[in-house]
Structure 1
């Protein structure tokens, strides 16, 4: 039988439930060894080297709990760059918007710096260098954190511009764009395309919408 699990209030109340050992330096004198203990108690789950997810209160102590890949991607990006400098985008945002019916093993997140892909035990995380302040965003709530993701309009332009980003095939982009086209405000999409100098992407979205 497991002992009683206790979580410091400072960790339990974190807005972002993805934590790094250094985030707990003001909570524990030796955070790495304490994290190992919390792993054994299934309070934390290791996502990747240096990144851990705090289990929801109702799943504390349950070793079967696995966080959602998109939630983990957003949480990791926020841990490293701050909430307002990152956003879920491309196919990951498309899935949140209901335009991609099947889950894929890759999450795409916009971040302020160039960064290699990260392998996790949940899937791959692709980081794309973007100035999030120039993107059209909306709020997104995940099981690990609340933050930002691209709007349907921004997502459509992003996928049209880079259809293979996130590991999908070129042929898969068409159905996603057609699904997004049913939700977008065309005036907003046209304005974004002008501001971001993406006439080709707009043309691709229009073409797919016409074939819907």
Structure 2
């Protein structure tokens, strides 16, 4: 029983309360069996193959689930570290509340390594996009699993305008862009635009739309 508590506490103390099974310290002889037992009891939740999280605030993992965006960021942080992963694109738009519809795919920026798309145990897919973090405008925000990096509204606006939307999401992305235009300040977006080597036409045009708000 003491080993169960030690493992549960170890996972809860990890960044975003999430850890890969292979990264757990050898607290017991058969870590896998202990983790599975804790999952069956609701003390842990399996997010994907070999990745587990500890539900916050005494939640029962048999009924509680983190959001897709929180799950995606937690898995990325478990892989590459807290300062090397950030919600971006549609997932950042979801975080900022400008994309109301859940789309079943989460996008996370990572600053190192190549990672294949990952299917989650409870539905949804995580896409890992290599990005240069020194060129991104990021902010530390609170998710249901703890604090993690998210692209700012200005950076999110730029990213949405710089990437082709997934099939069937054109209207939703247009709506998210309109919502971000209403809340992003000109200097913030201008700074993001200046960091890009070759901003596209739509990204450049957004700066004029922002300026028009103040005319």
Q: What TM-score comes out, normalization by structure 2 length?
A: 0.86
Report deviation, 1:172.
2.5
Q: What residue in structure 1 maps to residue 165 of structure 2?
A: 164
Structure 2 unaligned blocks of 5 or more: none
- Deviation, 1:25, is 2.3
Instruction: Provide the alpha-carbon RMSD of the alignment.
Output: 2.5
Alignment partners' CA distance in 1, 2:129 and 2:22: 25
8 Å CA contact retained: 1:10, 1:27: no
Match of 2:147 in 1: 146
Contact 2:88 2:108 in 1 (8 A): yes
Report runs of 4+ in structure 1 exceeding 4 Å deviation: 3-6, 206-211
User: Larger deviation: 37-46 or 6-15?
Assistant: 6-15
Residue of structure 2 in register with 1:7 after alignment: 5
CA, structure 1 residues 201+129, in 2 after alignment: closer, same or farther (shift >3 Å)? farther
Q: Is the 8 A contact 1:115 1:127 kept in 2?
A: yes
Partners of 2:41 and 2:165 lie apart in 1 by 40
Q: Are the counterparts in 2 of residues 118 and 126 from structure 1 also a CA contact under 8 Å?
A: yes
TM superposition shift of 1:26: 3.6
Pairwise CA distance, 1:196 = 1.0
Query: In 2, are the aligned partners of 1:94 and 1:176 still within 8 Å (CA)?
Result: yes
Name the structure 2 match of 1:33: 33
Q: Is the 8 A contact 2:107 2:129 kept in 1?
A: yes
Q: Distance in 2 between matches of 1:168 and 1:43?
A: 38
- Shift in Å, 1:206: 4.5
Q: CA deviation at 1:122?
A: 3.3
Tell me the SS of whatever aligns to 1:16. Answer: helix
- Give the number of aligned pairs: 207
Kept after mapping to 2: 8 A contact 1:85/1:133: no
* Separation in 2, partners of 1:117, 1:74: 13
8 Å CA contact retained: 1:178, 1:208: no
Structure 1 gap segments, 5+ residues each: none
Distance 1:184 1:21, change over 3 A: same
Is the 1:5–1:41 contact (alpha carbons within 8 Å) kept by the matching residues of 2?
no
Q: 1:28 to 1:122 in 2, by over 3 A?
A: farther
Question: What does 1:34-49 correspond to in 2, within 5 Å?
Answer: 34-49=34-49
Name the counterpart of 2:78.
79
Which residue of structure 2 aligns with residue 106 of structure 1? 105
2:17 equivalent in structure 1 = 17
CA contact 2:87–2:149 (8 Å) conserved in 1: yes
Q: Distance in 1 between matches of 2:172 and 2:206?
A: 14
Cα separation, partners in 2 of 1:107 and 1:168, compared to 1, 3 Å: farther
Q: 1:137 maps to which residue?
A: 138
CA distance in 1, matches of 2:3, 2:57: 11
